[in-house]
Structure 1
Amino acid sequence: MAVRASREIVIDAPPEAVLDAIADIEAVPTWSSVHKHAHIVDRYDDGRPRLVKVTVKSLGLVDHELLEYHWGRDWVVWDADRTAQQHAQHGEYTLSREGTATRVRFDITLEPSTPLPHFLIKRAKKTVLTAATEGLRGFVLAGKGSLQPE
Protein backbone atom coordinates (compact mmCIF):
# COMPACT_ATOMS: atom_id res chain seq x y z
CA MET A 1 0.00 0.00 0.00
CA ALA A 2 1.38 3.39 -1.01
CA VAL A 3 2.07 5.94 1.70
CA ARG A 4 1.59 9.61 0.82
CA ALA A 5 2.59 12.71 2.75
CA SER A 6 2.77 16.42 1.98
CA ARG A 7 3.43 19.74 3.68
CA GLU A 8 3.63 23.39 2.67
CA ILE A 9 5.83 26.06 4.20
CA VAL A 10 6.95 29.57 3.29
CA ILE A 11 10.66 30.32 3.11
CA ASP A 12 11.83 33.93 3.19
CA ALA A 13 13.99 33.59 0.07
CA PRO A 14 13.43 33.63 -3.71
CA PRO A 15 12.59 30.38 -5.52
CA GLU A 16 16.02 30.32 -7.19
CA ALA A 17 17.72 30.17 -3.79
CA VAL A 18 15.44 27.35 -2.67
CA LEU A 19 16.10 25.32 -5.85
CA ASP A 20 19.85 25.92 -5.48
CA ALA A 21 19.67 24.60 -1.91
CA ILE A 22 17.80 21.49 -3.05
CA ALA A 23 20.36 21.00 -5.83
CA ASP A 24 23.20 21.05 -3.29
CA ILE A 25 22.68 17.31 -2.87
CA GLU A 26 25.88 16.52 -1.05
CA ALA A 27 24.85 18.97 1.71
CA VAL A 28 21.45 17.31 2.25
CA PRO A 29 22.71 15.15 5.17
CA THR A 30 23.59 18.38 7.03
CA TRP A 31 19.95 19.52 7.08
CA SER A 32 17.94 16.30 6.71
CA SER A 33 18.00 13.91 9.66
CA VAL A 34 16.77 11.14 7.35
CA HIS A 35 19.75 11.34 4.98
CA LYS A 36 23.03 9.82 6.16
CA HIS A 37 24.94 10.12 2.87
CA ALA A 38 24.32 11.66 -0.56
CA HIS A 39 26.50 11.48 -3.66
CA ILE A 40 25.89 12.84 -7.16
CA VAL A 41 26.51 10.16 -9.78
CA ASP A 42 25.60 12.19 -12.88
CA ARG A 43 24.62 15.78 -13.71
CA TYR A 44 22.67 17.54 -16.43
CA ASP A 45 24.56 19.96 -18.70
CA ASP A 46 23.41 22.90 -16.52
CA GLY A 47 25.04 21.34 -13.43
CA ARG A 48 21.84 20.17 -11.74
CA PRO A 49 21.97 16.61 -10.33
CA ARG A 50 20.45 13.89 -12.51
CA LEU A 51 21.35 10.63 -10.74
CA VAL A 52 22.00 10.57 -7.01
CA LYS A 53 22.88 7.78 -4.58
CA VAL A 54 21.64 8.31 -1.03
CA THR A 55 21.71 6.37 2.19
CA VAL A 56 18.66 7.03 4.34
CA LYS A 57 17.63 5.90 7.79
CA SER A 58 14.07 5.93 9.09
CA LEU A 59 12.42 3.88 11.81
CA GLY A 60 15.80 2.29 12.45
CA LEU A 61 15.93 0.89 8.90
CA VAL A 62 18.79 1.83 6.59
CA ASP A 63 18.21 1.92 2.84
CA HIS A 64 20.37 2.73 -0.17
CA GLU A 65 18.55 4.49 -3.01
CA LEU A 66 19.35 5.57 -6.54
CA LEU A 67 17.28 8.65 -7.37
CA GLU A 68 16.68 10.16 -10.79
CA TYR A 69 15.95 13.91 -10.68
CA HIS A 70 14.12 16.14 -13.16
CA TRP A 71 14.19 19.94 -12.82
CA GLY A 72 11.94 22.78 -13.90
CA ARG A 73 11.92 26.53 -13.26
CA ASP A 74 9.79 26.14 -10.14
CA TRP A 75 9.83 22.42 -9.37
CA VAL A 76 11.97 19.34 -8.92
CA VAL A 77 10.86 15.70 -8.92
CA TRP A 78 12.66 12.45 -8.30
CA ASP A 79 11.93 8.77 -8.53
CA ALA A 80 13.77 5.93 -6.81
CA ASP A 81 14.58 2.51 -8.12
CA ARG A 82 13.32 -0.45 -6.11
CA THR A 83 15.34 -1.06 -2.93
CA ALA A 84 15.36 -3.52 -0.04
CA GLN A 85 12.93 -1.32 1.92
CA GLN A 86 10.59 -0.01 -0.79
CA HIS A 87 9.06 -0.94 -4.11
CA ALA A 88 8.89 2.65 -5.35
CA GLN A 89 9.30 6.30 -4.32
CA HIS A 90 8.28 9.57 -5.95
CA GLY A 91 9.10 12.93 -4.41
CA GLU A 92 8.61 16.50 -5.49
CA TYR A 93 9.06 20.09 -4.45
CA THR A 94 6.82 22.69 -6.10
CA LEU A 95 7.68 26.36 -5.57
CA SER A 96 5.63 29.52 -6.01
CA ARG A 97 6.79 33.07 -5.40
CA GLU A 98 4.95 35.03 -2.71
CA GLY A 99 6.40 38.55 -2.81
CA THR A 100 10.03 38.17 -1.75
CA ALA A 101 9.37 34.73 -0.23
CA THR A 102 8.64 31.28 -1.68
CA ARG A 103 5.81 28.90 -0.87
CA VAL A 104 7.27 25.39 -0.94
CA ARG A 105 5.08 22.33 -1.29
CA PHE A 106 6.73 18.99 -0.61
CA ASP A 107 5.01 15.76 -1.66
CA ILE A 108 6.28 12.22 -1.30
CA THR A 109 4.75 8.87 -2.18
CA LEU A 110 6.44 5.61 -1.39
CA GLU A 111 5.47 2.02 -1.37
CA PRO A 112 7.14 0.09 1.45
CA SER A 113 8.25 -3.44 0.62
CA THR A 114 6.53 -4.78 3.75
CA PRO A 115 3.36 -3.67 5.55
CA LEU A 116 4.02 -1.31 8.46
CA PRO A 117 1.82 -0.54 11.48
CA HIS A 118 -0.05 2.78 11.28
CA PHE A 119 1.80 4.28 14.28
CA LEU A 120 5.17 3.66 12.57
CA ILE A 121 3.94 5.20 9.32
CA LYS A 122 2.71 8.24 11.23
CA ARG A 123 6.08 8.65 12.99
CA ALA A 124 8.02 8.22 9.74
CA LYS A 125 5.81 10.78 7.93
CA LYS A 126 6.43 13.36 10.64
CA THR A 127 10.20 12.82 10.53
CA VAL A 128 10.39 12.99 6.73
CA LEU A 129 8.12 16.03 6.42
CA THR A 130 10.00 17.95 9.10
CA ALA A 131 13.37 17.19 7.50
CA ALA A 132 12.15 18.03 3.98
CA THR A 133 10.59 21.37 4.96
CA GLU A 134 11.96 22.78 8.21
CA GLY A 135 15.42 21.36 7.52
CA LEU A 136 15.39 22.89 4.05
CA ARG A 137 14.19 26.24 5.42
CA GLY A 138 17.06 26.36 7.93
CA PHE A 139 19.60 25.51 5.24
CA VAL A 140 18.27 28.15 2.82
CA LEU A 141 18.08 30.86 5.49
CA ALA A 142 21.63 30.08 6.59
CA GLY A 143 22.61 30.95 2.99
CA LYS A 144 24.41 27.67 2.46
CA GLY A 145 22.59 26.39 -0.62
CA SER A 146 24.42 27.01 -3.86
CA LEU A 147 24.81 25.17 -7.13
CA GLN A 148 28.41 24.04 -7.29
CA PRO A 149 29.20 21.67 -10.17
CA GLU A 150 32.00 19.20 -9.52
Structure 2
Amino acid sequence: MATVTRSVSISAPPEKILGILFDVERHPGWQKEVDKVEVLERDESGRPRRTRTTVQAMGQQATYVVEYDHSPPSGFEYHLVEGDVMMRNDFAFSVEPGEGGASEAVLSQAIDIKWPLPKFMIEKLAAKGVQDMLDSLKARAEGG
Protein backbone atom coordinates (compact mmCIF):
# COMPACT_ATOMS: atom_id res chain seq x y z
CA MET A 1 0.00 0.00 0.00
CA ALA A 2 1.17 3.50 -0.80
CA THR A 3 0.05 6.62 1.08
CA VAL A 4 0.95 9.99 -0.40
CA THR A 5 0.23 13.47 0.96
CA ARG A 6 0.92 16.67 -0.93
CA SER A 7 -0.18 20.29 -0.59
CA VAL A 8 -0.45 23.33 -2.82
CA SER A 9 -1.32 27.00 -2.50
CA ILE A 10 -4.17 27.97 -4.85
CA SER A 11 -5.17 31.56 -5.62
CA ALA A 12 -8.88 30.92 -5.16
CA PRO A 13 -11.28 30.71 -2.21
CA PRO A 14 -11.97 27.32 -0.61
CA GLU A 15 -15.61 27.38 -1.80
CA LYS A 16 -14.54 27.61 -5.45
CA ILE A 17 -12.01 24.80 -5.06
CA LEU A 18 -14.53 22.49 -3.37
CA GLY A 19 -17.11 23.39 -6.02
CA ILE A 20 -14.73 22.21 -8.74
CA LEU A 21 -14.07 18.95 -6.90
CA PHE A 22 -17.77 18.28 -6.23
CA ASP A 23 -18.59 18.81 -9.93
CA VAL A 24 -17.28 15.29 -10.56
CA GLU A 25 -18.87 14.84 -13.99
CA ARG A 26 -16.53 17.54 -15.32
CA HIS A 27 -13.34 15.93 -13.95
CA PRO A 28 -12.49 14.31 -17.32
CA GLY A 29 -12.13 17.82 -18.76
CA TRP A 30 -9.27 18.77 -16.43
CA GLN A 31 -7.82 15.52 -15.03
CA LYS A 32 -5.90 13.77 -17.77
CA GLU A 33 -6.19 10.22 -16.37
CA VAL A 34 -9.96 10.43 -15.79
CA ASP A 35 -12.12 9.14 -18.66
CA LYS A 36 -15.57 9.20 -17.05
CA VAL A 37 -17.27 9.88 -13.73
CA GLU A 38 -20.84 8.83 -13.06
CA VAL A 39 -22.71 9.99 -9.97
CA LEU A 40 -24.57 7.02 -8.53
CA GLU A 41 -25.99 8.87 -5.52
CA ARG A 42 -26.06 12.45 -4.18
CA ASP A 43 -26.59 13.77 -0.67
CA GLU A 44 -29.31 16.24 0.33
CA SER A 45 -27.02 19.16 -0.64
CA GLY A 46 -26.45 17.78 -4.14
CA ARG A 47 -22.86 16.71 -3.45
CA PRO A 48 -21.69 13.33 -4.69
CA ARG A 49 -22.23 10.54 -2.18
CA ARG A 50 -21.27 7.59 -4.39
CA THR A 51 -19.54 7.69 -7.79
CA ARG A 52 -18.17 5.32 -10.43
CA THR A 53 -14.95 6.47 -12.11
CA THR A 54 -13.07 5.10 -15.10
CA VAL A 55 -9.39 6.04 -15.40
CA GLN A 56 -6.46 5.30 -17.72
CA ALA A 57 -2.98 4.85 -16.24
CA MET A 58 0.11 3.14 -17.62
CA GLY A 59 -1.87 2.03 -20.66
CA GLN A 60 -4.40 0.24 -18.46
CA GLN A 61 -8.04 1.06 -17.74
CA ALA A 62 -9.55 0.76 -14.28
CA THR A 63 -13.03 1.36 -12.91
CA TYR A 64 -13.87 1.90 -9.27
CA VAL A 65 -16.74 2.99 -7.03
CA VAL A 66 -16.16 5.25 -4.04
CA GLU A 67 -18.35 6.52 -1.24
CA TYR A 68 -17.93 10.09 0.01
CA ASP A 69 -17.86 11.34 3.59
CA HIS A 70 -18.59 15.06 3.82
CA SER A 71 -18.21 15.31 7.60
CA PRO A 72 -14.73 16.90 7.68
CA PRO A 73 -15.46 20.63 8.16
CA SER A 74 -13.01 21.93 5.54
CA GLY A 75 -13.09 19.19 2.93
CA PHE A 76 -14.17 15.61 2.32
CA GLU A 77 -13.01 12.02 2.14
CA TYR A 78 -13.89 9.07 0.00
CA HIS A 79 -13.24 5.36 0.32
CA LEU A 80 -13.27 2.48 -2.12
CA VAL A 81 -16.45 0.41 -2.27
CA GLU A 82 -15.49 -1.76 -5.25
CA GLY A 83 -12.84 -1.79 -7.93
CA ASP A 84 -11.59 -4.01 -10.70
CA VAL A 85 -7.92 -3.11 -10.17
CA MET A 86 -7.81 -1.28 -6.83
CA MET A 87 -8.02 -2.98 -3.46
CA ARG A 88 -7.83 0.31 -1.57
CA ASN A 89 -8.44 3.93 -2.48
CA ASP A 90 -8.72 6.16 0.58
CA PHE A 91 -8.73 9.84 -0.36
CA ALA A 92 -8.84 12.89 1.93
CA PHE A 93 -8.92 16.51 0.80
CA SER A 94 -8.94 19.65 2.90
CA VAL A 95 -8.69 23.32 2.03
CA GLU A 96 -8.25 26.30 4.33
CA PRO A 97 -8.04 30.04 3.66
CA GLY A 98 -4.42 31.16 3.50
CA GLU A 99 -2.49 34.38 3.09
CA GLY A 100 -3.49 37.09 0.62
CA GLY A 101 -6.62 35.42 -0.73
CA ALA A 102 -4.93 32.12 -1.51
CA SER A 103 -6.06 28.79 -0.08
CA GLU A 104 -3.96 25.93 1.20
CA ALA A 105 -5.11 22.60 -0.17
CA VAL A 106 -3.92 19.25 1.18
CA LEU A 107 -4.59 15.93 -0.53
CA SER A 108 -3.79 12.54 0.94
CA GLN A 109 -4.39 9.26 -0.86
CA ALA A 110 -3.72 5.67 0.13
CA ILE A 111 -3.97 3.15 -2.68
CA ASP A 112 -3.28 -0.52 -3.20
CA ILE A 113 -3.77 -2.45 -6.40
CA LYS A 114 -4.30 -6.08 -7.33
CA TRP A 115 -1.38 -6.18 -9.77
CA PRO A 116 1.86 -7.69 -8.46
CA LEU A 117 3.95 -4.50 -8.56
CA PRO A 118 6.78 -3.61 -6.19
CA LYS A 119 5.81 -1.20 -3.41
CA PHE A 120 8.13 1.55 -4.72
CA MET A 121 6.34 1.48 -8.11
CA ILE A 122 2.92 1.77 -6.47
CA GLU A 123 4.23 4.66 -4.37
CA LYS A 124 5.62 6.36 -7.47
CA LEU A 125 2.31 5.96 -9.31
CA ALA A 126 0.38 7.30 -6.30
CA ALA A 127 2.70 10.31 -5.94
CA LYS A 128 2.38 11.14 -9.63
CA GLY A 129 -1.42 10.86 -9.49
CA VAL A 130 -1.72 13.08 -6.41
CA GLN A 131 0.64 15.73 -7.81
CA ASP A 132 -1.04 15.71 -11.23
CA MET A 133 -4.44 16.18 -9.59
CA LEU A 134 -3.25 19.10 -7.45
CA ASP A 135 -1.51 20.76 -10.41
CA SER A 136 -4.62 20.37 -12.57
CA LEU A 137 -6.91 21.60 -9.77
CA LYS A 138 -4.72 24.66 -9.25
CA ALA A 139 -4.76 25.46 -12.98
CA ARG A 140 -8.55 24.99 -13.15
CA ALA A 141 -9.29 27.09 -10.03
CA GLU A 142 -6.93 29.92 -11.00
CA GLY A 143 -7.84 29.90 -14.68
CA GLY A 144 -11.51 30.58 -14.45
Same fold (TM over 0.5): yes
Q: Tell whether the 8 Å contact from 2:28 to 2:35 is kept in structure 1 after alignment.
A: yes
Moved more, 111-120 or 6-15: 111-120
Q: Aligned partners of 1:118, 1:41: CA distance in 2, in Å?
A: 32
1:131 to partner: Cα distance: 2.4
Q: Aligned partners of 2:39, 2:82: CA distance in 1, in Å?
A: 18
Structure 1: which amino acid aligns with 2:48? Answer: P
Q: Aligned partners of 1:58, 1:106: CA distance in 2, in Å?
A: 19
* Cα offsets for 1:69-113 (capped at 9, x unmatched): 122441111111232212121001111110311100111001111
Structure 1: which amino acid aligns with 2:116? Answer: P
* Cα offsets for 1:15-45 (capped at 9, x unmatched): 1111101001011111111211111111111
Q: Aligned partners of 1:140, 1:81: CA distance in 2, in Å?
A: 29
What is the root-mean-square deviation in Å for CA atoms of aligned residues? 1.6
Moved over 4 A (4+): none
Question: Does residue 102 of the first structure (1) align with residue 106 of the second (2)?
Answer: no
Q: How does 1:115-130 map to 2 (within 5 A)?
A: 115-117=116-118, 120-130=121-131
Change (3 A) 1:111 1:122: closer
TM-score of the superposed pair, with normalisation by structure 1: 0.86
Q: Tell whether the 8 Å contact from 1:56 to 1:63 is kept in structure 2 after alignment.
A: yes
Structure 1 stretches of 5 or more lacking a match? 144-150
Q: Tell whether the 8 Å contact from 1:59 to 1:124 is kept in structure 2 after alignment.
A: no
Q: Tell whether the 8 Å contact from 1:106 to 1:132 is kept in structure 2 after alignment.
A: no
Instruction: Show the counterpart of 2:76.
Output: 76
Instruction: Show the counterpart of 1:36.
Output: 35
Q: How does 1:18-57 map to 2 (within 5 A)?
A: 18-57=17-56
1:3 to partner: Cα distance: 1.1
TM-score of the superposed pair, with normalisation by structure 2: 0.89
Structure 2 stretches of 5 or more lacking a match? none
Q: How many residues align?
A: 142
